[in-house]
Structure 1
Amino acid sequence: MKKILLFICIAFTVYTTTAQNGPRERMKAFKVAYITEKLNLSSKEAQQFWPIYNRHEETLENLKRKERRIIKSLKESNNGPDGLSDAKAGEFLKQYLQVDQQKSKARQKLITDLQEVMPNKKILRLIKAESDFNKRILDRIRERRKMN
């Protein structure tokens, strides 16, 4: 009964989110529904899981923005990488690697935090579910491009 109620709540959230927001919000809502389905979380696990996962996603989004700013500033510099001195290119690489390390640390923190609230098998299911979700999204994008 609890699982049915949880599913109805998630379905309602997905429906209202997709009805009111743009593509990015719809994507997030579908991801939430997909992960919830694949992890088969109890209501207690869901209450503990989602705040941890949402904080991680927010951190990751901020790091991705930082990474995009680095790449954008590289493109805007003198003719991209070819217009840079070797020292300046090294600065860009250092910034890029720092963001990459921060993403790795954030992933490690997510796993460590989740181990406190759920079994390791479900964490592995999460990793697989995220990968599968991303593959499905890329497949849909490719299909749409073929149609156009």
Structure 2
Amino acid sequence: MKLYLPNNCLNMKKILLLTCIILISNISFAQKGSREKVKAFKVAYITEKLELSSTEAQEFWPLYNAHQETISKLRMQKRKIIRALKEVNANQQDLSDEEATKYLDNHFKLEEQKHLSRKKLLTDLKKVISSKKILKLIKAETDFNKRILEKIKEKRKRGN
């Protein structure tokens, strides 16, 4: 029996990536919710699109994950604001100009923090990966988000 060994590094990377995707998807399908599945697929998708070396990946993912954690916290804060506004509307209370200004200021602060976090991520990533790979990251994130939205739309059409 002859063992197949790829003769170039690109094939080895593809095999390794495919193996990682399979392992991650099996683990996430077996143990975690849909949010974790999406995260696992996003990691695999970005890793594939950026073609990160193992050294780059070791430095890239902690930075990226820290940014994602910050964004997640900001989203939770924004949801609190939205829930508070819904409650005001549900109780048919009028919002004073002062209260409205407060909500708006909080909204702007959250958006600014989100922007600063993104800017910091991209600045920090310049020390780890090339500018070309950063542009690939931006495209990969956009493409991934489009794919997820399409899947959600398909799922809703099927009624699941």
> What TM-score do the two structures reach when normalised by structure 2?
0.85
| Pairwise CA distance, 1:92 | 0.3
RMSD value, Cα: 1.9
- In structure 2, the residue matched to 1:32 is 43
3-state SS of 2:73 partner: helix
CA distance in 2: counterparts of 1:81 and 1:51, whole angstroms: 45
Q: 1:22 aligns with which of 29, 33, 56?
A: 33
In 2: Cα distance, 1:113 partner to 1:60 partner: 16
- Residue type of the partner of 1:54? N
The equivalent residue for 2:137 is 126
Q: Flag the 1:91–1:63 CA change in 2: closer, same or farther, 3 A.
A: same
Q: Which has the larger radius of gyration?
A: 2
Deviations 1:3-61 (A, max 9, x none): 35752345423321232101111110011111111111111111110011010100110
Counterpart-to-counterpart distance in 1, 2:21 and 2:125: 20
CA distance in 2, matches of 1:63, 1:10: 29
4+ residue segments displaced more than 3 Å: 78-82
**Correspondences of 1:1-148 after superposition (within 5 Å):** 3=13, 6-7=16-17, 8-79=19-90, 83-148=94-159
> What code does the residue aligned with 1:31 have?
K
User: Tell me, which stretches of 5 or more residues in structure 2 are unaligned?
Assistant: 1-8
Q: Quickly say closer, same or farther: Cα 1:142–1:78, change in 2 above 3 A.
A: closer
Question: For residues 31 and 50 of structure 1, do their structure 2 counterparts lie closer, same or farther at Cα, with a shift above 3 Å needed?
Answer: same
The answer on whether the counterparts of 1:6 and 1:43 sit within 8 Å (CA) in structure 2 is no
- The 1-side partners of 2:15 and 2:44 are apart by 14
Residue 143 (structure 1) shift: 1.3
How many residues end up aligned between the 2 structures?
Answer: 148
One-letter amino acid of the structure 1 residue matched with residue 13 of structure 2? K
Relative to the length of structure 1, the TM-score reads 0.91
